[in-house]
C-alpha cells in the first residue's frame, strides 16, 4: 500500500530560466517518483511536488547538488500544501499575459557532450560548427527581445527540421527548449569571402581557412560576440603584418591555444588559472610567460605576461583540430580602438582591408560582446574586462534598491541597470571618445532595458562635464540626474560587490577622475559610505604641462615633478628624457609649469607613475592608456634590495597631503648612480605601499574605521594589490577588493548606481 503522501510548493529564484531548469526538475521528479508540476513565473520557477516525504527530501537536496551548469539558485522557499489527486509530473507553459521576468543567460562555451558529438563520424552533427544544447552555446548575443524564445532571436529565420524539433520538444532530450538548436539540415552555414569582397565557392570553408592561416594570411573569423582577426601566432611575419594592418603598435595580442597543455607550454599556470582558462566563461587570462615561451616577440612586446584563452565555439575547435595549430592570435576584429565588428556587411567593408579572407556565417550577432579579460591575483580571478560569458548575469546586492540607470565613465565604459537586489552591468562598450563606440553605447542601453524590462527612475553619471556619457545623461528628458564623483563611485563599487554598509576607508587610485574642486583626482583616500564621502588624503597636486598631452607623454610629468620638488636646475642633470625629447620642448613644458598655463592640476597616481617611468628610463611616450604604469611594474626587480623611497605626510586644509620630495630626490640620486630601472621601480612601489599603510593607520586612529576598500584601475597592479592587502591585513584591517566587476573604470557604473540609490533617499 502507498506510504503517506505530502505535497509541497517550492519557489526557486535566481538564474533559473532559459538554462534547462524545467527539464532538470522534470527528470528529478521522474526519478524520485513525484507527481506535480513546474512552471516559470515572474520571480523564477514554481515547483509543486507530491509524494513520499523521503522522496521530497531527496528531491530538494538534489535540486541543490545537481543544479544544471548554467543555472544559479539564489533562494528556495518551501510551503506546505494539501494533497490533491495528482499522478504525473508536468511542465506547465507560463501564461502569456503574465510578466515573466526572465534572466537571459550569458553566452557560454560549447559543452563536452556537444563536442563529443561534433567529432563523432556517426553523429548527425559530425563537424557541424553551430552545434549547441541547453547547457551551452550562444544566448545574450542572439536575443532580440524577451521572452527567450526562438522567434525573438536571430535563429528565427531558421526553421527547425523535424529531428531538431523533436529534440526541442522532448523533456528528456539535452536539447529540450534549446532555442538555438540546429543541424546541417536546418541551421546556419559557414561561408568564405576574400578581402576584396568576393564570395569564394568552396565546399569546405574551414579547410580553406586553415590553409590560409598556415600560409601566413590573416583571416577575419566570425565568432559569438563579434569578429576576430586570426593569424598563426608562431609565424612572426604574419603577426607583424597583423600589427601593421591594425595600426596597433605595442598593445599585446590575445592568443588562443588548443588546450590546457598547450597553454602550459607557453606560460606558468597554477590551479586557479587552469580553472579560469577552462571555465564556461572562457575569459582571456593574463599569465606569466615561461622563459622558454617561443612565440615571436611581436605577439606581446615588452610584456612579462601573455593573454591566453581556450577555444569556446565549435568553430574554434574545428580550426584547431583540422589545422593542428599550436597557437593563434585572435584579436578583436576592428581597427584600433573602434568597436568590434559584428555584421557581415560591415565586416566586408571594415575588415576587408585588414584581412585576406573572412570566414563568416549567416546567424546574425545582434549585440556585440567582446572577449572578457581576467587575471588571477591572490588566488582570486579578477576581471579586467567583464564581457562575453559574464554578461548579463547580475551582481547580487545585499539590499533592494530602486531601478537606476548608471552610464559609467568615458574609458572602458560599461553601463549598469538595477532591479531589486540585482545589478546588471553591460558588456564592455569601450572608449566613448569614438563615435562608433558612442552609438554602441546607445544601443547597449536600449537593449539591456529591453531584455531586462527595467524602466529606470533616475540616471547616475560621472561629474566630468565633458564625458560623452555625461552629455548623454543630460539630453534625457523626464528623469532626475544624479552626478557621482568618480572615485566615490570606485569605492562604492567595491563596497557593493562585497555587500558592505556604513563607512569605510577607501583607497581610490587611478589615472584620471574629475574632482569636486574641478581638478583631476586620482590618488585619493576617502572616508565614504554610499551616500557621501570626505576626502581624507590625497597625493600632492602637480601641474600637467600641456594637459591631455601629458597623458601621452610621460616625460612631461617628470619635468613637472622635478621642477616642483627640486627646482628647474634638476633638469640640467643628465636624464633619460634628454635622449628622446628636444631641449626646446622641455623648456616649453617647464615654462608652462612655472606660469601655470595649459597645466591643469592633478593628484593622479597614474601621472606619478608616468614621471617615475620617465626618470627611470622606461618610457617617454606611450601608445595606450596606462602603458607607463604597466611597464614600470613589469620592470620591477622583485629581489632588489635598497630601501623604499620616502614619501612625506602633511596636514593641509583638513586633509592629509602625501608629498613626494624625498621620493624625487632619491630617484634623481639613483639615476646619477646608474641604479638599474628594476631596482628604482621596486623602491618606488614599496615606498608607495608603506605610505598608504601609514595613512590607513592614521585614519583608523581618527575615525575608528578598520574596513579598507581598494579600488581604481591602479589595483590591476599585482604588486600593489598583494602587498597593500597583506600589510593592511597584518595591521588588523579588514581589506576588501574587487573580483566580480573590474576595479578599473569598467566597474564604475555599479558604484554610480549604488550612490545614486542612496542619494535619492528612496
Figure out which of the listed residues 100, 164, 351, 735 binds Zn ion, where binding follows CB under 5 A.
164
Distance CA 191, CA 202 (A): 8
Which of Zn ion, Fe ion, none interacts with 451 (beta carbon under 5 to 8 A by kind)?
none
Q: Outline where 155-233 has alpha helix (H).
A: 162-169, 205-214
Q: Take residue 206 and report the three cell numbers written for it.
A: 574551414
CA geometry: angle 116, 117, 123, nearest 5 deg: 145
Q: What number of CA atoms fall less than 13 Å from residue 141's CA on the CB side?
A: 24
Figure out which of the listed residues 161, 457, 675, 759 binds Zn ion, where binding follows CB under 5 A.
161
Distance CA 121, CA 200 (A): 26
By beta-carbon proximity to Zn ion, the closer residue of 109 and 740 is: 109
Distance CA 721, CA 532 (A): 25
Distance CA 640, CA 327 (A): 35
Which of Fe ion, Zn ion, none interacts with 558 (beta carbon under 5 to 8 A by kind)?
none
Residue-wise DSSP of 339-379: PPP--HHHHHHHTTTT-SEEEEESSPP-S--PPPEEEEETT
Tell me the per-residue interface mask from 353 to 392 with Fe ion, x by CB under 5 A, - otherwise. Answer: ----------------------------------------
- Residue 87 CA from chain centroid, whole number: 48
Q: Which residue is nearest to Fe ion (CB)?
A: 510
User: Counting contacts by CB under 5 A, is residue 185 touching Zn ion?
Assistant: yes
Nearest distance in Å: CB 514, Fe ion: 10
Figure out which of the listed residues 6, 46, 156, 186 binds Zn ion, where binding follows CB under 5 A.
186
Q: Take residue 544 and report the three cell numbers written for it.
A: 600637467
Tell me the per-residue interface mask from 455 to 494 with Fe ion, x by CB under 5 A, - otherwise. Answer: ----------------------------------------
Nearest distance in Å: CB 747, Fe ion: 9
Nearest distance in Å: CB 183, Zn ion: 3
User: Counting contacts by CB under 5 A, is residue 178 touching Zn ion?
Assistant: no
| Ramachandran category for residue 692: left, alpha or beta (phi over 0 → left; psi -120 to 50 → alpha) | alpha
By beta-carbon proximity to Fe ion, the closer residue of 333 and 513 is: 513
By beta-carbon proximity to Fe ion, the closer residue of 521 and 555 is: 521
Q: Take residue 217 and report the three cell numbers written for it.
A: 594570411
Nearest distance in Å: CB 159, Zn ion: 9
Number of other CB atoms surrounding residue 674 within 10 Å: 6
User: Counting contacts by CB under 5 A, is residue 115 touching Zn ion?
Assistant: no
By beta-carbon proximity to Zn ion, the closer residue of 133 and 618 is: 133
Nearest distance in Å: CB 134, Zn ion: 7
Nearest distance in Å: CB 200, Fe ion: 46
Nearest distance in Å: CB 263, Zn ion: 23
Which of Fe ion, Zn ion, none interacts with 370 (beta carbon under 5 to 8 A by kind)?
none
**The cell 532538470 sits on which residue?**
24
Q: Is the dihedral of CA 442, 443, 444, 447 positive or negative?
A: positive
Residues in the chain: 762
Nearest distance in Å: CB 486, Fe ion: 6
By beta-carbon proximity to Fe ion, the closer residue of 510 and 524 is: 510
Please say whether the beta carbons of 46 and 9 come within 8 A.
yes
Which of Zn ion, Fe ion, none interacts with 161 (beta carbon under 5 to 8 A by kind)?
Zn ion
Residue-wise DSSP of 522-545: EEEEEEE-SS-EEEEEEEPPEE-T
Task: Select the span of 225-233, 450-458, 510-518, 650-658 touching Fe ion (CB under 5 A).
Answer: 510-518
By beta-carbon proximity to Zn ion, the closer residue of 135 and 387 is: 135
- Residue 578 CA from chain centroid, whole number: 39
User: Counting contacts by CB under 5 A, is residue 510 touching Fe ion?
Assistant: yes
Which of Zn ion, Fe ion, none interacts with 186 (beta carbon under 5 to 8 A by kind)?
Zn ion
Nearest distance in Å: CB 103, Zn ion: 19
Whether the bond into 147 is cis, omega within 30 of 0: yes
By beta-carbon proximity to Zn ion, the closer residue of 161 and 421 is: 161
How does 558-578 read in b/e, with b if 16+ C-beta sit within 10 Å? bbbbbbbbbeeebbeeebbbe
Please say whether the beta carbons of 708 and 736 come within 8 A.
yes
Which of Zn ion, Fe ion, none interacts with 183 (beta carbon under 5 to 8 A by kind)?
Zn ion
Backbone phi, psi, residue 727, to 5°: -65, -40
By beta-carbon proximity to Fe ion, the closer residue of 462 and 631 is: 462
Nearest distance in Å: CB 750, Fe ion: 13
Please say whether the beta carbons of 503 and 703 come within 8 A.
yes
Q: Give the bridge partners for 51, in sequence order.
A: 6
By beta-carbon proximity to Zn ion, the closer residue of 133 and 755 is: 133
Nearest distance in Å: CB 629, Fe ion: 13
Which of Fe ion, Zn ion, none interacts with 510 (beta carbon under 5 to 8 A by kind)?
Fe ion
Q: Is the dihedral of CA 499, 502, 506, 508 positive or negative?
A: positive
Which of Zn ion, Fe ion, none interacts with 632 (beta carbon under 5 to 8 A by kind)?
none
Burial of 56 by CB count in 10 Å (0-12 exposed, 13-18 middle, 19+ buried)? buried
Nearest distance in Å: CB 89, Zn ion: 24
Nearest distance in Å: CB 359, Zn ion: 22
Please say whether the beta carbons of 390 and 106 come within 8 A.
yes
Q: Is the dihedral of CA 325, 111, 738, 735 positive or negative?
A: negative
Q: Which of residues 86-115 bind Fe ion (CB under 5 A)?
A: none
| Ramachandran category for residue 612: left, alpha or beta (phi over 0 → left; psi -120 to 50 → alpha) | alpha
Q: Take residue 672 and report the three cell numbers written for it.
A: 646619477
Nearest distance in Å: CB 167, Zn ion: 8
| Ramachandran category for residue 197: left, alpha or beta (phi over 0 → left; psi -120 to 50 → alpha) | left
Distance CA 395, CA 423 (A): 5
User: Counting contacts by CB under 5 A, is residue 391 touching Zn ion?
Assistant: no
Please say whether the beta carbons of 471 and 707 come within 8 A.
no
Tell me the per-residue interface mask from 134 to 153 with Zn ion, x by CB under 5 A, - otherwise. Answer: -xx-----------------
Nearest distance in Å: CB 743, Fe ion: 9
Figure out which of the listed residues 111, 221, 269, 495 binds Zn ion, where binding follows CB under 5 A.
111
Q: Which residues contact 716 (CB under 8 A, 6 or more apart)?
A: 375, 382, 384, 742, 743, 744
By beta-carbon proximity to Fe ion, the closer residue of 334 and 470 is: 470
Please say whether the beta carbons of 50 and 34 come within 8 A.
yes
Q: Which helix (H) or strand (E) holds 648?
A: strand 648-652
By beta-carbon proximity to Zn ion, the closer residue of 185 and 380 is: 185
By beta-carbon proximity to Fe ion, the closer residue of 409 and 554 is: 409
By beta-carbon proximity to Fe ion, the closer residue of 320 and 514 is: 514
Q: Is the dihedral of CA 428, 429, 432, 437 positive or negative?
A: positive
Number of other CB atoms surrounding residue 601 within 10 Å: 17
Which of Zn ion, Fe ion, none interacts with 232 (beta carbon under 5 to 8 A by kind)?
none
Which of Zn ion, Fe ion, none interacts with 133 (beta carbon under 5 to 8 A by kind)?
Zn ion
Nearest distance in Å: CB 655, Fe ion: 20
By beta-carbon proximity to Zn ion, the closer residue of 161 and 293 is: 161
By beta-carbon proximity to Zn ion, the closer residue of 133 and 592 is: 133
By beta-carbon proximity to Fe ion, the closer residue of 106 and 522 is: 522
Q: Which of residues 712-751 bind Fe ion (CB under 5 A)?
A: 745
User: Counting contacts by CB under 5 A, is residue 114 touching Zn ion?
Assistant: yes
Q: Which of residues 552-591 bind Fe ion (CB under 5 A)?
A: none
Site residues for Zn ion per CB under 5 A:
111, 114, 133, 135-136, 161, 164, 183, 185-186
Site residues for Fe ion per CB under 5 A:
510, 513, 745
Amino acid at each position: 500500500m502507498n506510504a503517506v503522501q505530502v505535497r509541497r510548493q517550492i519557489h526557486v529564484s535566481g538564474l533559473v530560466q532559459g538554462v534547462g531548469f524545467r527539464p532538470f526538475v522534470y527528470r528529478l521528479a521522474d526519478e524520485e517518483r513525484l507527481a506535480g508540476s513546474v512552471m516559470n513565473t515572474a520571480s523564477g520557477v514554481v515547483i509543486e511536488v507530491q509524494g513520499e516525504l523521503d522522496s521530497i527530501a531527496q528531491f530538494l537536496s538534489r535540486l541543490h547538488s545537481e543544479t544544471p551548469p548554467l543555472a544559479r539558485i539564489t533562494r528556495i522557499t518551501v510551503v506546505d500544501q494539501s494533497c490533491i489527486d495528482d499522478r504525473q509530473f508536468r511542465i506547465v507553459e507560463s501564461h502569456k499575459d503574465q510578466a515573466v521576468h526572465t534572466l537571459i543567460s550569458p553566452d557560454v562555451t560549447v559543452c563536452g557532450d556537444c563536442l563529443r558529438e561534433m567529432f563523432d563520424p556517426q553523429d548527425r552533427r559530425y563537424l557541424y560548427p553551430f552545434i549547441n544544447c541547453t547547457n551551452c552555446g550562444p544566448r545574450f548575443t542572439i536575443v532580440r527581445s524577451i521572452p527567450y524564445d526562438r522567434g525573438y532571436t536571430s535563429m528565427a529565420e531558421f526553421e527547425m527540421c523535424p529531428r531538431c524539433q523533436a529534440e526541442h520538444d522532448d523533456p528528456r532530450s539535452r536539447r529540450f527548449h534549446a532555442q538555438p538548436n540546429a543541424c546541417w539540415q536546418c541551421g546556419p552555414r559557414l561561408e568564405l569571402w576574400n578581402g576584396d569582397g568576393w564570395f569564394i565557392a568552396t565546399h569546405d570553408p574551414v579547410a580553406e581557412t586553415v590553409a590560409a592561416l598556415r600560409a601566413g594570411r590573416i583571416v577575419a573569423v566570425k565568432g559569438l560576440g563579434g569578429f576576430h582577426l586570426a593569424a598563426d601566432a608562431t609565424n612572426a611575419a604574419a603577426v607583424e603584418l597583423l600589427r601593421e594592418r591594425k595600426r596597433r603598435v605595442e598593445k599585446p595580442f590575445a592568443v588562443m591555444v588548443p588546450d590546457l597543455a598547450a597553454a602550459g607550454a607557453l606560460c606558468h599556470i597554477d590551479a586557479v588559472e587552469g580553472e579560469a582558462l577552462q571555465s564556461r566563461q572562457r575569459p582571456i587570462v593574463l599569465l606569466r610567460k615561461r622563459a622558454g615561451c617561443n612565440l615571436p616577440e611581436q605577439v606581446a612586446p615588452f610584456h612579462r605576461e601573455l593573454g591566453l584563452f581556450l577555444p569556446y565555439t565549435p568553430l574554434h575547435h574545428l580550426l584547431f583540430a583540422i589545422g593542428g595549430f599550436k597557437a593563434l592570435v585572435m584579436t578583436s576584429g576592428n581597427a584600433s580602438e573602434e568597436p568590434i565588428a559584428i555584421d557581415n556587411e560591415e565586416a566586408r567593408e571594415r575588415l576587408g582591408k585588414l584581412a585576406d579572407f573572412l570566414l563568416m556565417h549567416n546567424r546574425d550577432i545582434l549585440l556585440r560582446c567582446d572577449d572578457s579579460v581576467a587575471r588571477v591575483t591572490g588566488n582570486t580571478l579578477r576581471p579586467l574586462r567583464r564581457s562575453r560569458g559574464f554578461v548579463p548575469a547580475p551582481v547580487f546586492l545585499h539590499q533592494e534598491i530602486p531601478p537606476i540607470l548608471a552610464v559609467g565613465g568615458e574609458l572602458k565604459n560599461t553601463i549598469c541597470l538595477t532591479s531589486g537586489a540585482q545589478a546588471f552591468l553591460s558588456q564592455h562598450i569601450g572608449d566613448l571618445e569614438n563615435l562608433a563606440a558612442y552609438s554602441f553605447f546607445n544601443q547597449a542601453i536600449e537593449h539591456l532595458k529591453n531584455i531586462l524590462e527595467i524602466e529606470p527612475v533616475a540616471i547616475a553619471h560621472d561629474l566630468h562635464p565633458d564625458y560623452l556619457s555625461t552629455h548623454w545623461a543630460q539630453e534625457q528628458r523626464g528623469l532626475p540626474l544624479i552626478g557621482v564623483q568618480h572615485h566615490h563611485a570606485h569605492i562604492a563599487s567595491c563596497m557593493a560587490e562585497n555587500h558592505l554598509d556604513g563607512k569605510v576607508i577607501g583607497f581610490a587610485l587611478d589615472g584620471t577622475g574629475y574632482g569636486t574642486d574641478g581638478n583631476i583626482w586620482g590618488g585619493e583616500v576617502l572616508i565614504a559610505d554610499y551616500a557621501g564621502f570626505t576626502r581624507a588624503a590625497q597625493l600632492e597636486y602637480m601641474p600637467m604641462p600641456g594637459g591631455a598631452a601629458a597623458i601621452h607623454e610621460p616625460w612631461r610629468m617628470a619635468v613637472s615633478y622635478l621642477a616642483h620638488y627640486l627646482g628647474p636646475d634638476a633638469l640640467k642633470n643628465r636624464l633619460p628624457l634628454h635622449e628622446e625629447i628636444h631641449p626646446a620642448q622641455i623648456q616649453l613644458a617647464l615654462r608652462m609649469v612655472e606660469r601655470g598655463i595649459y597645466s591643469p592640476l592633478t593628484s593622479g597616481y597614474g601621472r606619478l607613475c608616468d614621471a617615475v617611468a620617465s626618470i627611470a628610463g622606461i618610457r617617454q611616450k606611450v601608445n595606450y592608456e596606462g602603458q607607463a604604469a604597466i611597464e614600470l611594474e613589469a620592470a620591477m626587480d622583485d629581489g632588489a634590495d635598497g630601501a623604499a623611497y620616502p614619501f612625506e605626510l602633511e596636514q593641509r586644509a583638513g586633509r592629509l597631503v602625501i608629498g613626494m620630495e624625498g621620493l624625487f630626490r632619491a630617484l634623481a640620486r639613483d639615476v646619477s648612480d646608474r641604479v638599474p630601472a628594476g631596482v628604482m621601480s621596486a623602491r618606488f612601489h614599496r615606498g608607495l605601499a608603506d605610505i598608504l599603510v601609514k595613512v590607513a593607520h592614521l585614519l583608523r586612529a581618527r575615525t575608528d574605521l578598520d574596513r579598507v576598500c581598494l579600488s581604481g584601475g591602479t589595483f590591476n597592479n599585482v604588486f600593489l594589490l598583494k602587498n597593500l592587502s597583506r600589510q593592511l591585513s597584518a595591521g588588523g584591517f579588514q581589506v576588501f577588493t574587487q573580483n566580480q566587476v573590474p576595479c578599473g573604470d569598467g566597474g564604475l557604473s555599479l558604484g554610480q548606481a549604488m550612490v545614486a540609490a542612496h542619494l535619492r533617499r528612496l
